[in-house]
C-alpha cells in the first residue's frame, strides 16, 4: 500500500493520445479546456467539463450540417451555402428556438 495514484504500471514511452481521441470526438478537448481556463468562468475547471462541452458542440454541429446537407440536396446542389444553413435552422423547431436571436 505504499503506492499512490490509481494503481497499475506507469506508462513507458508509446505515442501520446489526445483527449479528443480518447473520448471518440473530433472537436478539440484540450483547446476547449484552455479556453475555459482563460475565460474566467470559474477558478477551477474539472477534467470532464471540456469533454462534455466538446461532445455537445460536436453534436450540434453534426445536426446542423446534416440538415443543411439535406437542404442542399433538395436544391440539387453539392455544396452547402449560407442559404442552406438558414433553411436548415429555421425549418427545425428546436434549432430555430435555440438560434432565434442569431443572424445567418
Quick: pLDDT tens for 20-69. 999 999 999 999 999 999 999 999 999 999 999 999 999 999 999 999 99
pLDDT value, residue 89: 97
Q: All 3 cell numbers of residue 61?
A: 454541429
Closest CA to 55 of 93, 91, 23: 23
Predicted TM-score (pTM) of the model is 0.83
Average pLDDT, the chain: 92
Averaged pLDDT for residues 79-103: 96
pLDDT at 98: 96
Q: Which of 91, 84, 86 is nearest to 69 (CA)?
A: 84
Enumerate domains of the chain plus CATH numbers: 19-98 (1.10.20.10)
Residue ranges in 24-92 assigned as alpha helix (H) = 29-38, 48-74, 82-91
Three-class DSSP category at 31: helix
Chain centroid, CA 34 distance in Å = 14
Q: Is 62 left (phi over 0), alpha (psi -120 to 50) or beta?
A: alpha
pLDDT number for residue 14: 85
The secondary structure of the chain in percent helix, strand, coil, rounded to multiples of 5, reads 55, 0, 45
Amino acid at each position: 500500500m505504499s503506492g499512490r495514484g490509481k494503481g497499475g504500471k506507469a506508462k513507458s514511452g508509446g505515442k501520446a493520445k489526445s483527449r479528443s481521441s480518447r473520448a471518440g470526438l473530433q472537436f478539440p478537448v484540450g483547446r476547449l479546456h484552455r479556453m475555459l481556463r482563460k475565460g474566467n468562468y470559474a477558478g477551477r475547471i474539472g477534467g470532464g467539463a471540456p469533454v462534455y462541452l466538446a461532445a455537445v458542440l460536436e453534436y450540434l454541429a453534426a445536426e446542423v450540417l446534416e440538415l443543411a446537407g439535406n437542404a442542399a440536396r433538395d436544391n440539387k446542389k453539392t455544396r452547402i451555402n449560407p442559404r442552406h444553413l438558414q433553411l436548415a435552422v429555421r425549418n427545425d423547431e428546436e434549432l430555430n428556438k435555440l438560434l432565434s436571436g442569431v443572424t445567418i
